[in-house]
Amino acid sequence: MKILVAVKRVIDYAVKIRVKPDKTGVEMNNVKMSMNPFCEIALEEALRIKEAGKASEVVVVSMGGPQCVETLRTGLAMGADSAIHVSTDTPLYPLAVAKLLCAVASREQPQILLLGKQAIDDDANQTGQMVAGLLQWPQATFASKVALGDKSDVTVEREVDGGLETLRLQLPAVITTDLRLNEPRYATLPNIMKAKKKKISSITPEELKVDIQPDFMILEVVEPAKRKGGVMVSSVDELVDKLKNEAHVI
Amino acid sequence: MIASKAGRVVGKLAQKRGSGFLNGWPRFGAYGITTTSAKRVPSTEEAGTSQSGHSSDWNQHRLTEDQLSFQALASDFARNEMMPFAAEWDERKHFPVDVVRSAANLGFGGIFCGHDVGGSGLSRADGAVIFEALAYGDIGTTAYLTIHNMCCAIVDKFGTGEQRQTWLPALTCMDRLSSYCLTEPSSGSDAASLRTTARKDAGSTDYILTGEKAFVSGGGFSDVYLVMARTGADGPSGISCFIVEKDMPGVSFGRQEDKMGWRSQPTSAVILEDVRVPEQNRIGSEGQGFSIALSALDGGRINIGTCSVGGAQFCLDTAQEYVSTRKQFGKSIIDFQNTQFKLADMMTSVVASRLMVANAAAALDANAKWATPSAAMAKRFATDTCFNVCSDALQLHGGYGYLKDYPIERYLRDLRVHMILEGTNEIMRLVISRHMMKSKA
């Protein structure tokens, strides 16, 4: 069984994000980039399934410019067998990524498509759900436990607002991973060296016949408003008035 | 156990939200969410490092693609597994054997050893990149790792095929830890005057070792000790190298030393009283021990220099963050030209030290005849210079630099010993000038 894992290259979680002075986006020059933490968890889960003997191959895929190859190399160093780079310089948003993933999955024919639940840069939490819709595959998001059954099915425990929900899905299926699913491994020095021999194939959106033109435009990116000092109110009436008309919470 | 990197996302987000920050700098007396123990450990945010991700060392153009991967791995490991706990290890004198073993599982236990014995088969240049990144997180623990690697390299380079297979597989994965024993209470710089004896036992091929070794890093904890002992006449050519195991009868240890720095690393005397050591534990031939010891120190000196560079880079990054947020006289103190000049000089010093170390590593990899004085120059320069950078960084922190709440003073205490061990910086000058005079003779 083949598992396809989608990984995204994002600004490293420890970086202090600064908004560009022209407000067109976030400062990305010379900033440390890493694999999205939830994508690491997804890849780790795929590797564990393979190590348990239930999958034969783990393929990582990432989309974007040439620097994606670094992230794919990290994935190979963690233990993935091969990698696919969907090469484009057009900025990609969740729907475009979902369409591309749908095309890649149709070619690769995995039984499981694993993704992180969201990327820590846009916090969109959309791609997994959309690609499941496009593929017409069942989906289980926010997975905190994944267990393969023996009838071509998988049982997934999901973390939802109300608690935990357990779903059983027929394969092929889309699963997005949440924080507590596992603890990702580090690549080891020997695996980093071995990864150099593993294959990274490249393909373009045109070859996949997918239109990735964004259907929206980011107008402005600003920092959150600076925290203002507290204000002492003189009466309950004043408090109610402020809550209603300033803070808009009642 | 290797903790989840993604889990630390949650940890970091939680720390950002409720922990009493003012202008990005923790208010004195405000305590946020603690991480590992009752004593508050400053987070990397609070310590004000730009571990936040700038390519702050301006070094990437010199690294190969592989070295960049090694550096990323080592940096991540240092940031996640060492930095959050280093203050606690220092205070409690705790030797984090589990973390050191985790590092070995990633291939850091036998970096220079052959693949056939579980080593990573990398070059000295690769090692320099890795150890610098690790030292950024914690110097004492990284320094022990470099010493263990030095011992493994001795067995790998000078051991017979059988010795390599007997000892190295367990050492490279750090199932067993190792230590290097040359210095004695009455022979430090004058190492060749050592008095530990290894006399041949009449009627067998065993040696009987008697003597005392001082300041052994890993003493009391390590399983395997590389001991230089006298088998022949006085002077360097009478010294041989032996592997002594912790549980051999006659082996005992002095009390754990209470040190200024390197407190996450155990140090003690190793006492040998008629310890019977089989001949197959002798590394190299009789009389070869001193040259083995010195050859190992070439790599060891590069590694110590590397640790100084990593520590100084951390202090520089931290100081830069601090002076960017600390305000006096109506502006951030980084806006004063003196501060800017200070930072520029510190950066220049760190880069120069890094290049000296890289040069020595390249010379050693090339087996150049000048590898030994290159390593001596690198060690002497980097350890002196980086200690001063660290001291300057502490000064830039003002009063806060003197508090244990902030990591700077620990780096200063850790770096001070680098000017002394693996050959004092005075001895380095002897080594350098001797080589200069020899080549002109």
Digit-coded pLDDT (tens) for B283-338: 999 999 999 999 999 999 999 999 999 999 999 999 999 999 999 999 999 999 99
Mutate to test the interface with A, among B17, B64, B67, B73 (most CBs of A within 10 A): B73
Count other Cβ atoms within 10 Å, centred on residue B341.
Answer: 10
Per the CATH hierarchy, to which homologous superfamily does domain A2-223 belong? HUPs (3.40.50.620)
CA–CA separation, A233 and B300 (whole Å): 67
Q: Per-residue pLDDT averaged across B92-110, rounded?
A: 96
What's the pLDDT at B7? 45
- Cβ neighbours of A188 in B, within 8 Å: 105-107
Helix (H) / strand (E) element for A207: namely helix A205-208
Q: Name the amino acid, one letter, at B423.
A: G
- Closest CB to B2 among A13, A179, A185: A185
The radius of gyration computed from the CA coordinates of chain A, to the nearest angstrom, equals 21
CA–CA separation, B390 and B136 (whole Å): 12
Q: How many degrees, rounded to 5, is the angle at CA B308 between CA B338 and CA B90?
A: 100
Residue of A nearest to B114 (CA): A190
Structure confidence at residue B377 as a pLDDT band (50, 70, 90): very high
Q: What is the pLDDT of residues B141-178, one digit of tens each?
A: 999 999 999 999 999 999 999 999 999 999 999 999 99
pTM, to two decimals: 0.86
- Closest CB to A184 among B6, B111, B122: B6
Mutate to test the interface with B, among A8, A44, A186 (most CBs of B within 10 A): A186
Task: Lowest mean pLDDT of A183-187, B50-54, B192-196, B327-331, name the range.
Answer: B50-54
The overall average pLDDT reported for chain A is 93
Q: What is the domain partition of chain A in residue ranges?
A: 2-223
- Cβ neighbours of B111 in A, within 8 Å: 189
Q: Chain A contact for B9, CB < 8 A?
A: yes
A188–B53 C-beta distance less than 8 A: no
Catalytic residue check, B422: yes
CA–CA separation, A199 and A76 (whole Å): 9
Residue of B nearest to A32 (CA): B53
- Cβ neighbours of B57 in A, within 8 Å: none
Contact B383, B419 (CB under 8 A): yes
CA–CA separation, B92 and B309 (whole Å): 25
Q: Per-residue pLDDT averaged across B362-369, rounded?
A: 97
A73–B106 C-beta distance less than 8 A: no
Bond before A110 cis per omega within 30 degrees: no
What's the pLDDT at A30? 79
Structure confidence at residue B19 as a pLDDT band (50, 70, 90): very low
Q: How far is A191 from chain B (nearest CA, A)?
A: 9
Percent of chain A with pLDDT over 70: 100
The radius of gyration computed from the CA coordinates of chain B, to the nearest angstrom, equals 22
Contact B372, B431 (CB under 8 A): yes
Q: For residue B376, what are the contacts with CB-CB under 8 A and spacing of at least 6?
A: B301, B423, B428, B429, B431, B432
- Closest CB to A14 among B53, B106, B120: B53
Mutate to test the interface with A, among B4, B58, B321 (most CBs of A within 10 A): B4
What tokens were used for A123? 């916090």
What's the pLDDT at B58? 87
CA–CA separation, A197 and A82 (whole Å): 10
Q: Per-residue pLDDT averaged across A79-96, rounded?
A: 95
Q: What is the pLDDT of residues A142-160, one digit of tens each?
A: 999 999 998 899 999 999 9
Q: Chain A contact for B101, CB < 8 A?
A: no
- Closest CB to A30 among B8, B54, B69: B54
Q: Chain A contact for B173, CB < 8 A?
A: no
- Cβ neighbours of B108 in A, within 8 Å: 189
- Cβ neighbours of A71 in B, within 8 Å: none
What tokens were used for B75? 């940096």
A15–B52 C-beta distance less than 8 A: yes
Residue of B nearest to A226 (CA): B23
CA–CA separation, B230 and B194 (whole Å): 7
Contact B264, B177 (CB under 8 A): no
3-state class percentages of chain A: helix first, strand second, coil last, to nearest 5: 30, 25, 45
Q: Per-residue pLDDT averaged across A174-181, rounded?
A: 96
What's the pLDDT at B50? 41
Q: What is the 3-state secondary structure (H, E, C) of chain B?
A: CCCCHHHHHHHHHHHHHHCCEECCEECCCCCCCCCCCCCCCCCCCCCCCCCCCCCCCCCHHHCCHHHHHHHHHHHHHHHHHHCCCHHHHHHHCCCCHHHHHHHHHHHHCCCCCCHHHCCCCCCHHHHHHHHHHHHHHCHHHHHHHHHHHHHHHHHHHHCCHHHHHHHHHHHHCCCCCEEEECCECCECCCHHHCCCEEEECCCCCCEEEEEEEEEEECCCCCCEEEEEEECCCCCHHHEEEEEEECCCCCEEECCCCCCCCCCCCCEEEEEEEEEEECHHHEECCCCCHHHHHHHHHHHHHHHHHHHHHHHHHHHHHHHHHHHHHCEECCEEHHHCHHHHHHHHHHHHHHHHHHHHHHHHHHHHHCCCCCHHHHHHHHHHHHHHHHHHHHHHHHHHCHHHHHCCCCCHHHHHHHHHHHHCCCCCHHHHHHHHHHHHHHHHC
B73–A187 C-beta distance less than 8 A: yes
Task: Lowest mean pLDDT of B49-53, B79-83, B205-209, name the range.
Answer: B49-53
Contact B409, B402 (CB under 8 A): yes
Q: Chain A contact for B4, CB < 8 A?
A: yes
Q: Per-residue pLDDT averaged across B373-380, rounded?
A: 98
Count other Cβ atoms within 10 Å, centred on residue A162.
Answer: 6
- Closest CB to B107 among A179, A183, A189: A189
What's the pLDDT at B34? 29
B6–A38 C-beta distance less than 8 A: yes
B55–A30 C-beta distance less than 8 A: yes
Q: For residue A192, what are the contacts with CB-CB under 8 A and spacing of at least 6?
A: A77, B66, B69, B70, B73
Q: How far is B264 from chain A (nearest CA, A)?
A: 23
CA–CA separation, B82 and B45 (whole Å): 15
Contact B218, B177 (CB under 8 A): yes
Q: Please provide the size of chain A in residues.
A: 250
Percent of chain B with pLDDT over 90: 85
CA–CA separation, A44 and A107 (whole Å): 23
Q: Distance from first CA to last CA of chain B, Å, rounded?
A: 56
Helix (H) / strand (E) element for A2: namely strand A2-6
What's the pLDDT at A3? 97
Nearest CA to A48 among B10, A40, B434? Answer: A40
Interface of A with B (CB under 8 A): 11-16, 30-32, 34, 37-38, 40-41, 73-74, 77, 120, 179, 182-190, 192-193, 196
- Closest CB to B105 among A16, A188, A193: A188
Q: What is the pLDDT of residues B405-420, one digit of tens each?
A: 999 999 999 999 999 9
* Beta bridge partner(s), residue A82: A59
What tokens were used for B396? 């830039």
Whose tokens are 């239930």? That residue is A54
Q: Which letter does DSSP use for residue A179 in this model?
A: G
CA–CA separation, B226 and B153 (whole Å): 11
- Closest CB to A186 among B50, B76, B122: B76
Dmax (CA) of chain B: 83
C-alpha dist (Å) from residue A204 to A7, A104, B98, B326: 17, 11, 45, 49
Nearest CA to B355 among B306, B417, B426? Answer: B306
Q: A-B interface: how many C-beta pairs under 8 angstroms? A: 85
CA–CA separation, B245 and B305 (whole Å): 29
Count other Cβ atoms within 10 Å, centred on residue B344.
Answer: 10
Q: What is the ipTM of this complex?
A: 0.82
What tokens were used for B50? 């730009």
Mutate to test the interface with A, among B2, B9, B45, B136 (most CBs of A within 10 A): B9
Q: Give the alpha-carbon dihedral of B328, B329, B330, B335, to 10 degrees.
A: -70
B44–A188 C-beta distance less than 8 A: no
Q: Please provide the size of chain B in residues.
A: 441
Residue of B nearest to A72 (CA): B69
Q: What is the pLDDT of residues B254-265, one digit of tens each?
A: 999 999 999 999
